[in-house]
């Protein structure tokens, strides 16, 4: 008999839609939105992430610059650079690429960023505004998930959303965004007993655990929408190249109603949302009388 296959929620068309909206907002501004990246040390993954983000900014016609600091940078030097960028009216967004070398305190550095320039949405003020349901800059991956759901017209209001993972980067802010969008929200994590009993209750299951194939078909309600945020590197076998896989087992496609692929699902949304955040930050920092119609209000 035929096996049901979930609708694929591809990231690239949804990301293109978000980038087009960012470009349209940028076109209403009297300034070119500008983002400054700070990277510390020589972690190759961080280097490649920053390169990708800067490339996307250039494609969109935004200004960007990269401050690559040596691995032995002190906390004081890092804070001094952030202070300089905060005070520079030509910079609208400041992004500190994580992780930092072990001797540096990321939370302390993130807290130094001017919240108006906090395009990664990780400053405690941004987190507080999110949880109060007030406008503000939102973390890129969770906001990107919301944009993906919106693009594919997946209902959120009144749905039971279950999130697996409670990190400050993904799980927690996503819970706030889903609450603000009128979902009923459950957050599961490493200490949740019988994870499947919780995930089976989800109309909307969003997984950000960083555990390859954690979610198996028996853990998913038939017809549920499943969003796979996980990116796990699996070593290649028998000389094959290493590959990327999500937190959701591929067989879940036989049970779910809709499913994001990995790669090519949530990943492209994160970078697109960063561009939108940068344009929104620039709009907020541009006096209203110099703007060309658009309010530049940061949406909820
Ligand atoms: P993290 O390690 O900070 O947090 C993982 C969370 O998952 C924790 O709260 C933990 O309690 C929970 N968890 C771990 N194992 C679990 C288990 N067996 N059962 C239930 N809960 C479990 O990770 P993170 O930064 O939130 O990232 C999560 C995943 O998302 C990673 O694979 C990461 O690479 C990926 N990610 C993707 C993007 C993107 O752009 N697509 C962006 C950020 C993170």
What is the distance between the alpha carbons of residues 164 and 150, in angstroms, rounded to a whole number?
20
One-character DSSP codes across 17-74: HHHHHHHHHHTT-SS--EEEEEEES--HHHHHHHHHHHHHHHHTT-EEEEEEE-TT--
Mean pLDDT, residues 132-151 taken together: 98
Mark which of 95, 124, 153 sits at the end of a domain. 124
Mean pLDDT, residues 255-264 taken together: 98
Mean pLDDT, residues 153-173 taken together: 98
Q: Is the peptide bond before 99 cis (omega within 30 degrees of 0)?
A: yes
The reply to whether ligand 1 has any atom less than 6 angstroms from the CB of 163 is no
User: Has residue 299 got a pLDDT over 60?
Assistant: no
**Which pLDDT score is estimated for 298?**
61
> Does some domain include residue 289?
no
The CA radius of gyration of the chain, in Å to the nearest whole number, is 20
**Which pLDDT score is estimated for 1?**
40
- Residue-wise pLDDT for 13-71, tens only, equals 999 999 999 999 999 999 999 999 999 999 999 999 999 999 999 999 999 999 999 99
What is the distance between the alpha carbons of residues 220 and 167, in angstroms, rounded to a whole number?
22
Q: Are residues 157 and 264 located together in one domain of the fold?
A: yes
Q: Are residues 90 and 151 located together in one domain of the fold?
A: no
- Rounded mean pLDDT of the chain? 95
User: Has residue 249 got a pLDDT over 70?
Assistant: yes
User: Has residue 300 got a pLDDT over 80?
Assistant: no
Q: Are residues 104 and 189 located together in one domain of the fold?
A: no
Residue 161 CA to ligand 1 centre (angstroms):
17
Lowest mean pLDDT among 237-241, 244-248, 279-283, 284-288: 237-241
Sign of the CA dihedral with 254 first, then 256, 260, and 266 last: negative
Mark which of 124, 154, 176 sits at the end of a domain. 124
Catalytic member of 114, 118, 120, 247: 120
> Does some domain include residue 249?
yes
- Please confirm, yes or no, whether 120 is among the known catalytic residues: yes
> Does some domain include residue 238?
yes
> Does some domain include residue 223?
yes
> Does some domain include residue 3?
no
What is the distance between the alpha carbons of residues 205 and 154, in angstroms, rounded to a whole number?
12
> Does some domain include residue 5?
no
Closest CA to 244 of 263, 266, 228, 216: 263
User: Has residue 294 got a pLDDT over 60?
Assistant: no
Q: Are residues 148 and 252 located together in one domain of the fold?
A: yes
CA distances 198 to 221, 250, 269, 282, Å, are: 10, 20, 27, 41
pTM of the model: 0.95
Residue 190 CA to ligand 1 centre (angstroms):
10
Question: What residues make up the domain containing 230?
Answer: 139-268
* Total domain count, the chain: 2
The reply to whether ligand 1 has any atom less than 6 angstroms from the CB of 176 is no
The reply to whether ligand 1 has any atom less than 6 angstroms from the CB of 34 is no
What is the distance between the alpha carbons of residues 203 and 156, in angstroms, rounded to a whole number?
9
**Which pLDDT score is estimated for 296?**
56
Find the CATH number of the domain harbouring 154. Answer: 3.40.50.720
Closest protein CA for atom 31 of ligand 1: 210
> Does some domain include residue 279?
no
The reply to whether ligand 1 has any atom less than 6 angstroms from the CB of 216 is no
> Does some domain include residue 65?
yes
Mark which of 124, 149, 169 sits at the end of a domain. 124
Give the atom of ligand 1 at the shortest distance from the alpha carbon of 171: 26
Q: Are residues 144 and 248 located together in one domain of the fold?
A: yes
**Which pLDDT score is estimated for 47?**
96
**Torsions phi, psi for 275 (to 5 deg):** -65, -45
Q: Are residues 118 and 33 located together in one domain of the fold?
A: yes
Q: Which residues contact 200 (CB under 8 A, 6 or more apart)?
A: 219, 220, 221
Q: Is the peptide bond before 263 cis (omega within 30 degrees of 0)?
A: yes
Q: Which residues contact 157 (CB under 8 A, 6 or more apart)?
A: 181, 182, 183
Mean pLDDT, residues 199-213 taken together: 98
Q: Are residues 87 and 153 located together in one domain of the fold?
A: no
Find the CATH number of the domain harbouring 46. Answer: 3.40.50.10860
CA distances 229 to 102, 121, 171, 177, Å, are: 25, 18, 10, 15
Q: Which of 120, 148, 229 to mutate to test the pocket of ligand 1 (most atoms within 8 A of CB)?
A: 229
Which parts of the chain are beta strand (E)? 7-8, 34-40, 63-69, 93-96, 160-164, 184-188, 204-207, 225-228, 232-234, 243-245, 258-259
Residues in the chain: 300
């Amino acid at each position: 008999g035929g096996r049901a296959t979930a609708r694929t929620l591809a990231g690239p068309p949804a990301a293109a839609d978000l980038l087009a909206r960012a470009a349209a907002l940028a076109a209403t501004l009297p300034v070119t939105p500008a983002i400054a990246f700070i990277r510390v040390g020589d972690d190759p993954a961080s280097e490649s992430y920053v390169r990708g983000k800067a490339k996307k900014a250039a494609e969109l016609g935004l200004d960007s610059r990269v401050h690559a600091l040596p691995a032995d940078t002190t906390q004081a030097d890092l804070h001094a650079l952030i202070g300089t960028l905060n005070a520079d009216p030509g910079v609208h967004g400041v992004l500190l690429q994580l992780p930092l070398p072990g001797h540096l305190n990321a939370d302390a550095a993130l807290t130094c960023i001017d919240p108006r320039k906090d395009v990664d949405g990780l400053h405690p003020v941004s987190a507080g505004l999110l949880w109060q349901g007030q406008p503000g800059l939102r973390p890129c991956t969770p906001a990107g998930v919301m944009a993906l759901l919106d693009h594919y017209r997946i209902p959120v209001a009144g749905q039971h959303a279950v999130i697996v993972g409670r990190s400050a980067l993904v799980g927690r802010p996503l819970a706030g965004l889903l609450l603000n969008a009128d979902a009923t929200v459950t957050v599961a994590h490493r200490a949740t007993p019988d994870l499947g009993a919780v995930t089976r209750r989800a109309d909307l299951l969003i997984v950000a655990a960083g555990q390859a194939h954690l979610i198996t078909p028996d853990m998913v309600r038939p017809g549920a929408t499943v969003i796979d945020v996980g990116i796990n590197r699996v070593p290649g076998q028998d000389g094959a190249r290493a590959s990327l896989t999500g937190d959701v087992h591929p067989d879940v496609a036989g049970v779910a109603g809709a499913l994001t692929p990995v790669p090519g699902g949530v990943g492209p949304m994160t970078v697109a949302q960063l561009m939108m955040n940068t344009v929104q930050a620039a709009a907020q920092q541009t006096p209203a009388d110099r703007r060309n119609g658009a309010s530049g209000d940061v949406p909820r």
